Amino acid sequence: MTNKYKYFVANWKMYGNKKSVNSLKKVIKFSKMSKFKTAKIVYCPPYTILGDFIKKFKNTNIKVGAQDCHFIDGEGPYTGFVSSKMIKQIGSQYVIIGHSEQRKSGDTDIKINKKILSSINNNLNVIFCIGENLKQKKKNLTKKILSYQIKKGLNKVKNFNKIFVAYEPVWSIGSGKIQSEKELFKNIESIRLILKNIKNRHQFKILYGGSVNDKNINLLSKIKNIDGFLIGGASQKPNKFIDIIKKSYI
């Protein structure tokens, strides 16, 4: 680990409802345990229950974020979208940008860059997702793809303190497959080197995502250059999410 804290970001994707808020009691109680007080927990639920999560976590150390935003700062004729300013005004502190599912839906690197700039302008912490797909991996293009995504996504960014880089190999998401310890360590080191060339001496926080669960967290936790995890399906069940955090401290 390169930072003092371990970060655990729960990406609920398109799951959850108002009843789901009741399940958060276990995590709130767990977060107060002194043994795990260095764990930085962030929940990113759908927009429809974002406000409910913010109210539930009031007066706790748990933070809340959105899963995406529009690249326009304020308001505009964009049906179905939510701006970073709106997300900040409701009480969110984080936002996920560049997730592979959004990239697949049409997010280009240029659009992602605009979203990042807008989010930072509105004082949000950005969880910036990058990652190669299976075809790129097989052609040994991983480092090239990661470099391209990082440089394009962070173009014109000045406040790097707000940037969390989440490495999510596209081929791993939802598949249950993860890289070997050696391969993952190597890829994280490549990311750090790319980031160093962009902003030397800045200590970037790098998370790993991609089929993170309570079964493989022991292996992932051995990789010391990872600062935390972006967790999908497993984060929706309090017991599994808590188990992941616990095992990260062993």
Is residue 10 included in any domain, yes or no? yes
Catalytic residue among 70, 99, 101, 132: 99
Q: Is residue 60 part of a domain?
A: yes
d(CA 226, CA 220): 8
Work out the widest C-alpha separation in the chain, in whole angstroms. 50
Look at the pTM and tell me if it is higher than 0.75: yes
pLDDT at 239 > cutoff 90:
yes
At 146, give phi and psi (nearest 5°). Answer: -65, -40
Asked whether residue 1 is assigned to any structural domain, the reply reads no
Does any domain span residue 163?
A: yes
What value does the mean pLDDT take over residues 121-135? 97
Q: What is the mean pLDDT of residues 127-135?
A: 96
pLDDT band at 249 (very low <50, low <70, confident <90, very high): confident
- What is residue 174's predicted lDDT score, i.e. its pLDDT? 78
Per-residue pLDDT at 2 exceeds 50: no
Examine residue 159 and state whether it is found in any structural domain, yes or no: yes
Q: Which of 109-113, 172-176, 203-207 has the lowest mean pLDDT?
A: 172-176
Mean pLDDT, to the nearest integer, of 69-89? 96
Give me 65's structure tokens. Answer: 């974020």
| Residue 1 pLDDT > 70 | no
Is 99 labeled as catalytic in the residue annotation?
Answer: yes
For 210, half-sphere exposure in the C-beta direction (CA atoms, 13 angstrom radius) is 22
pLDDT value of residue 4: 65
- The enclosing domain of 182 has a CATH number of 3.20.20.70
Whether residue 3 is predicted with pLDDT greater than 60 in this model: the reply is no
pLDDT reading at 121 higher than 80: yes
pLDDT value of position 173 = 84
- Provide the domain limits for residue 118: 6-248
Residue 59 has pLDDT above 80, yes or no: yes
The number of distinct structural domains making up the chain is 1
What are the distances in angstroms from CA 241 to CA 19, 113, 176? 18, 31, 16
Which of 70, 101, 132, 168 is catalytic? The answer is 168
pLDDT at 94: 98
Quote the pLDDT of residue 127. Answer: 98
pLDDT of the residue at 176: 79
The whole-angstrom separation of Cα 3 and Cα 204 is: 9
